[in-house]
Each structure stands twice: as C-alpha cells, then as structure tokens.
A and B are shown apart, each in its own frame.
With several copies, the nearest count.
Chain A
C-alpha cells in the first residue's frame, strides 16, 4: 500500500495542479496554448515509478503530467505559464516547451511526433557513452501516424537503444477520432512489435498496471535487450487545448465519455486505497498539503518579474 499511496499522491498532485490551471486560465494571465492531462495522470506516474533522476524524458504538447511526475519543478512550471522570468524557460517556451534538466526532464515540444527522435538520439548518446541511464519518450496515439515515430522506432530497434516509448492512446487527436486516422484493424502494440520494439498495452487508467508493465520493460531496457513501447489506453477529460470541458460539441459519443469518466484514474485509485484501509482523513490531509503547495506556486508565479525583452537577442547562437 505504500507505493500505491505514493502513486496516489503523485497523481492527485498533478490533478490538482491542472485543475488550478484550468480554474485560473480564464483570468487571461496564462497566455499560451495549454494542453491539460486531466484523466491521463496514471500513465505519467506509473511510468515515472521506474525511472531515476538520471533517466532522460521527452514529451509532447501535453506534457505537464510527464514533467511533474519526473520531478520537474512545480514553481517553474506555473511561472512559465505566466510567462515569467522564473519560468522553466524564462517565458520563452510556454506550456508547450517545458524543461527541468535537474530532474532529467529534458524537454517537451509542440510539433506532433518531433520529440520522439530526440529521445532516441539521447539513447544513442547513452549507449555510445555507456551511461547507466535510459531515455523515455511520451507521445499520443496521433503521433504514431507521423513518419518520425516510425523512423525513430526503426533506428532504436536497429541499434537496440535504451529507450522506452510511452504512447498514451486517448483515442483523439484534437477533435478527430481514431476512425479518420488509423485503420480499424490497427493495433499500436502489434505495429510496434513488427517494427522491433518490445511492446505491451495496458489499461492506462490503472496505475498499477502501468507501473508493473513499465517495470518489466525498463528492466529489459536496462539489461540491454533494446527498446520497448508501452501503450496506455486512457482518455482526456477536457478540451484538447484550454481549460474547459467541451463535450457539448458532441465530437465524442456520450456513452464513451461516460464510460471513461467513470474510470477516472484518480478516483479509481482513491477507492482502492480506501478499500485497502486508508482513511478518508489521511487522503484529505494529502490533498490539503498539495493544495498549499499549489497555492504557493501560483503566488510565486504571480509576483515574479516578467523577463526583460532587452535580452531577446540572447541565445540565438550558443555563446
């Protein structure tokens, strides 16, 4: 139950952070496109449980959960959304370009699929330099439609690179269902296996499944068996980009939405903990602690200075 409680804490923290962002987004002070992970926290937390701070993670536009689960600074995240000097890129990158090198979260990028090769390249460096670390690349099922995914996976398999591909299959790319993007017969794990990745799929809303599968895959990767892929079936609760619920638009079947909301990963885990004997007070205390941490992060972000545009010409080239 200890590790479960830890997972719960991590997931709840991400959830509360994202909810706080959503709650304040309409104040128009976080002025950048922001993709929330609400509903998808189990994948990030379950995967991170097998990673050390030395391991290097890359992600996509929807990166908050991965960043936080990997240990990225909450204060620097919130400040970044506010476009402040204290943000993780000093306001240059915004929500879609997060980094915390001290936590081994290298970067997220805003072009679908284009951070996947970067993670594979990181793994190439790790292999050639015989480093005791691995790389991880997070992406959505939409990104598997890009040639960049395919080319990267082929090379990772060819060189048996130490890299874990994490595909969060939330069934949608913006408003587009899988049916307009991938053939009905498609299995992402079967495809990944055919490319040469050691691939398995799990219920991505069950953090235990994610953690167990990842542990096994990562063991193989650290062992030198080559790259692997985990497909986490999951669902995003809110709109693709922005703070709101958008099921009034009708692009997702009602029963599908209902099915997945009923399988909210945080609620599921909370129930499990209660069943296992955790007390409601204990969990509430956790929530309270998280709440103050988040309030503090927003407080810091709001009072922080804006970056100075006089520095805009810095860092076009390495100095």
Chain B
C-alpha cells in the first residue's frame, strides 16, 4: 500500500539505527530478537546483516545482567543501543538503570560517560494484558540523570532516535506499539542531525491547550479537529521530552489559553500528567481560567479480554468530551457517549495492519 513517497514510523526507527551504526563504528546494538526474522516489528531488520553479528546481536534472557553489560561497554567506549520488546520486561533491570547508568556520570564527577539508549516498546490491546502493556514513563522521568524521549510522529522519530543514540547520557526511548505502522511522506522527514524539539506544537489554537505525548498525540489531534468543528480552537502540544525544564512552550500556551488538559498514556495517579499540571500551576497560576485537567489510564492493570478494555484507553472522543464538559458546552449526540467505540475496526487493534498477537 506504500508508494515511494511514504515511509513508516518503524522504517524511520530502522533507518536511524542504520545511520548511527555507520556513523559510529564503536556502536553496539543488542536485545532479544534483534536479529531474528521479525526484527522487532521490522525496526531492526538488516542491521545484523549490514554491521555483523559482533556488533548487532541477540542475547540471553537476562535483562538485568545485559543492561549492566551495556553500561559497562558504554563506559569503556562503545555506544550502546538496547531494545526490549516490552517495557514490562525491563523491570528486571531497574538496579542497573537507576543505580548505575543514571548516576554514573554524576557520582564519578564527570570522569566517565554512559552513551546508552534503551528502546522500550509499550503494548496495547489484543489481550496484551496486565504485564505486556505498562508505560512507566513517570518512573524514568523521576530519576535524575536519565533522559526520557517519547516519540509520537513519523516525521521526527528518526531524528529523535538518532540524537538519543548520539547523546552521551543514558536515554530511555519509549515507543508505543500502535505507532509503528504510522505513515508519513518522506519529504516531511526531519534530517537526522536536526536537534529534535523537546516540545512540539502540532496545532496552534487560542481557546484550550491540550498536552499529550506518545500515542495520545494522535488521539489529541483527532480531538482537536472535532473540537474545531464544535467551535473550540485547541492548541495541541507534544511533550516529546519528559523534562520540566524544557516545557517553556507549554507554559506559554497555557498563559495564552488559560486552559489545560493533559493526556497521559499511563496510569493517571503519580503520573507525568501530574508533573505537567503541577509545573504549569506553579508557573501560570495567574493565567489559569480553570483547574487544569488530566485524562490518563485508570489506576488498575490492563485486563486481557476485549470486553474489558473498551473504556481503558482514552480516545479522541473522550478527549473531546472532557474539553467540552470543562467548558460547560453541549455535547453533540455523536459523542454523547464518548466511551463508545465508533470505528469499524475492533477497539483493541491499531489498524488493519495489525494481525496479532503482539
């Protein structure tokens, strides 16, 4: 279905890795399945063939040890990229990540660096269930010394990944599974060496600020279109980097609109959304016309059955509904029940391309 003019999110991730491996001969890439026939949803295809199995390799099922090995190689002078097919598996490696990678440059007084990037894929739907669908972005963001990047759009993801890899600090790179097939024209692709924007403004608007990251950016943009039809001019911003110091554009937007909804792709409490709201309130209290709102996942694990996930993930409709209600505006009948799923495809798959099971 793809013409020469279009490319996908997964392809872009693939290209960024190819370029980085080429640009830095001391770069290593490893992870479970990285060189297998499926190549991590196509994102690592061809790497081992191009750069050899010494630099691109599959590994034992040993997330903690292998993370430490990645850190050690990075300290020694390799540039390291690790990939995990699910963030959930990476929970085994928190000691290495937090006690070593994040603090190393600091606690050794700047004498060593950890050029390590860790790609973590977030599952959703098709029965991923309680232990294959967690996004713990707020955990990583809470740890000083880690950078956290949460890409959402095909045009920028290659530059984001390339710059993460080339960064001499450890970077957590969180990819939502439902983004991999997202298309874009190749002409729109940002050059790899362009410094990615920490906050991206995807739509300007005067009435309402909607902040989202990762997959929720897509839903927010659909919502903004619906809101426009309903007479609300929403501004949609993406916090692609989870670092309050970089969020100036968010503060500016709220200063303009006075209204804020933060869409989070993780559990709602103690979340990135809480930090955004708290940071905004601190800086823009005088300009706020109403309480900032958030819309995240409920505070329970993702159940497996399709019957139980219908309302688990906020959608464009639920965003629209939340905004309209906060403005005390009438909801059109079409989204009265925002929780109903309107698409023709089942709600637990991202698109026709998804055939299960992962």
Contacts and interface: CB of A to CB of B under 8 A. Distances in A.
Interface of A: 28, 31-34, 56, 58, 83-84, 87, 89-97, 99, 101, 106-107, 109-126, 128-129, 135, 142-143, 145-148, 150-152, 154-155, 158, 173-176, 180-182, 241-242, 249-251, 306-309, 312-319
Contacts of A147: 62, 64-65, 92
Nearest to B80: A121
Interface stretch (B53-61, B176-184, B248-256): B53-61
Interface string B63-93: 1111111111111111000000000110110
Nearest to A156: B69
A32 B36 CA distance: 22
Contacts, number: 278
B61 A173 contact: yes
Contacts of B67: 117
Contacts of B70: 121
Contact of A155 (B69, B106, B298, B309): B69
Interface stretch (B9-17, B95-103, B209-217, B224-232): B95-103
Contacts of B78: 124-125, 128-129
B26 A99 contact: no
Nearest to B30: A124
Interface string B307-331: 1111110000000000000000000
Contacts of B112: 99, 101, 106-107
A57 to B, nearest CB: 12
Nearest to A34: B357
B63 to A, nearest CB: 8
16 contacts: A31-B346, A34-B357, A56-B76, A94-B127, A97-B130, A112-B89, A114-B96, A115-B100, A118-B71, A125-B26, A146-B62, A151-B64, A155-B60, A173-B32, A181-B61, A318-B115
Interface of B: 26, 28, 32-33, 36-38, 54-55, 57-78, 88-89, 91-92, 95-96, 99-100, 104-115, 126-132, 144-145, 147, 167-169, 298-300, 303-312, 346, 348, 356-358
B167 A241 contact: no
Nearest to B57: A180
Contacts of B104: 107
Contacts of B58: 176, 180-181
Contacts of B107: 89, 92-93, 97
Nearest to A142: B61
A89 B77 contact: no
Contact of A316 (B60, B72, B100, B145): B145
Given A89-B108, A125-B76, A315-B105, 11 more contacts: A33-B357, A87-B305, A101-B111, A110-B131, A111-B99, A113-B61, A152-B65, A154-B62, A173-B61, A318-B113, A319-B110
A68 to B, nearest CB: 18
A190 B265 CA distance: 46
A89 B131 CA distance: 15
Contact of A92 (B88, B108, B298, B348): B108
Contact of B64 (A33, A128, A148, A318): A148
Given A94-B305, A120-B68, A151 B54 contact: no
